[in-house]
Structure 1
Amino acid sequence: MTAVDERDMTRYFEELEPPEGVKVELLRGVIVMMASPDIVHNMIVADVQDQIPRSRWSRLQTQDVDILNEASEPVPDLVVVARDLLPDSGRLLPSQLVTMVVEVVSKSSVHQDYVVKRSIYAAGKVPAYLILDPIMAQCVLLTRPEGQDEDANYLTQQITKFGDPVLLDVLGLELDTSEFGTFPNVRPHRYP
C-alpha cells in the first residue's frame, strides 16, 4: 500500500471527473462530494447575486478558489471579486483576490460551512465570509480573518435573522434578506 499525502490528493483531485450534477471540493486534503442543491438554496444564491452591482463586482458561481498554502480548493456558492482584479481565465481563483465568499447551508453541509470552511477561508485571508442558513433562518457574517492553517479564524461574527438587512461594508451595500426561503421540517443544528 502506498501512502498518500495532501500533495498527491491535490493532483488526484485535479484529474477527477465527477458525474454531472455533483459538486466536488477539496477541503484540507479531503474530497467532498455533494448532490445538486435544493431550489431554496439556488434562489438564495440568485437573490444575493442580483443585489451585488455587476458594474463594480464580478459575482461567480461554481468557481474553484485556490487557498494559499492549503490542500484546499473550495467551491463557494458565490465568489465576489472586484471587476478590475478578475483574471482573464483559469480554473483556480487565488483567494487573495477574493473580497467575499458566500455559502448557503444545506442539510448535509452544516459542519463544513460553519467549521471547516470558516477556517479555510480565514487561512486564505478572504476578507468576508457570509453564511446563509435556511435551516436556522439566519445570516452569519464573518470578517477580519486571522491565523494560519487549521487555527485560522475570523475575529468578527455578526448574526442576523432572515428578514433583517445585513450590512456588507466590504461591498458597500446592504443585503435585503426578506425574500430568503427556509427548509421546511429540518431539524435545527447547534452552529455557529
Structure 2
Amino acid sequence: MIRPVEERYRTVRELFPELRTEVFNGRIVVNDTGTWQHNTILAQVLFQLMPVVAERGWEIWPNITIFLGAEADRYVPDLTVVPQRPVMESDEAVRGDSTLLLVDVVAAGGAYDDHVVKPLGYAPAGVPLYLVIDPFQRLVKLYSEPGRDGYTRETVEPVGAPLTLPAPWDHPLDTGGLLCV
C-alpha cells in the first residue's frame, strides 16, 4: 500500500530535519544545504531587508514551510518575512497569506521549481510577494498581485537594474549588490 504524500513527507522531515524537505506536485524533494555562493547572496538580501524589518517589528525566518492549503504542496523558501504574530498552520508551517515576502535563490537544478512551480502554488495561497534571484541567468524576478490563477504581475530585471519592493515595503533593492559573487 502506498502511503499518502503528506505521511511520507512527515517521515522524510523526521529522518532529515537539518535539510529542506519540500513537496512539488506530489514528489518529495530533499535539498542539500546551500553553497557558499548561495549563502552569500542570501546574506546580501538580508543586509538590505534588515533595516525595514527591524523598524517595523517584522521577522525573517530562514527555514519554515509555507502552508498553501490542506491538499497543496509544501514549499520551503530560502527566506520568509512575516509580520508580528503571523497566522500559523502548525509549528512548522506559516500560512501563505500571513507572509510579507518570500525569497528564493535559484540553485542548480531548481530553476523550474523556483520560476514556474512555486509561483503557481504561492499565488492562490495569497503570498503577496515572491522574489526569485537567479544567479545563473543574472536576473531578479518579483511576483506580485496574487490571484487564483497565478500572479498578475511579474517584474523581471537584470542584475544591476533597480527594483523596488511595493507596499507594504516601499523599499528599493540594489540588485547589483545581490550577486557580488
Cα deviations across residues 89-145 of structure 1 (Å, max 9, x unaligned)?
Answer: 821111120121111111110111011111011121101111100001110011111
AA matched with 2:5: M
- Displacement of 1:60 in angstroms is 1.0
- Displacement of 1:154 in angstroms is 0.8
Match of 1:186 in 2: none
Query: Structure 1 unaligned runs (5+)?
Result: 184-192
Match of 1:177 in 2: 175
The number of residues matched between the two structures is: 174
Mapped to 2, the partners of 1:98 and 1:28 lie a distance apart of 22
TM-score, scaled to structure 2? 0.86
- Displacement of 1:41 in angstroms is 1.2
Match of 1:14 in 2: 10
Cα deviations across residues 12-52 of structure 1 (Å, max 9, x unaligned)?
Answer: 21232344753211223221122221222111112112222
* Aligned counterpart for 2:47 among listed residues 31, 46, 50: 50
Match of 1:101 in 2: 102
State how 1:1-192 maps to structure 2 within 5 Å: 2-4=1-3, 8-16=4-12, 17-19=14-16, 22-52=19-49, 53=52, 54-56=54-56, 57-85=58-86, 90-147=91-148, 152-170=149-167, 171-181=169-179
Mapped to 2, the partners of 1:15 and 1:33 lie a distance apart of 12
Cα deviations across residues 166-191 of structure 1 (Å, max 9, x unaligned)?
Answer: 100132211112222278xxxxxxxx
Q: How many percent identity over aligned positions?
A: 26
Q: Which moved more, 1:162-171 or 1:127-136?
A: 162-171
RMSD: 2.1
SS at match of 1:10: helix
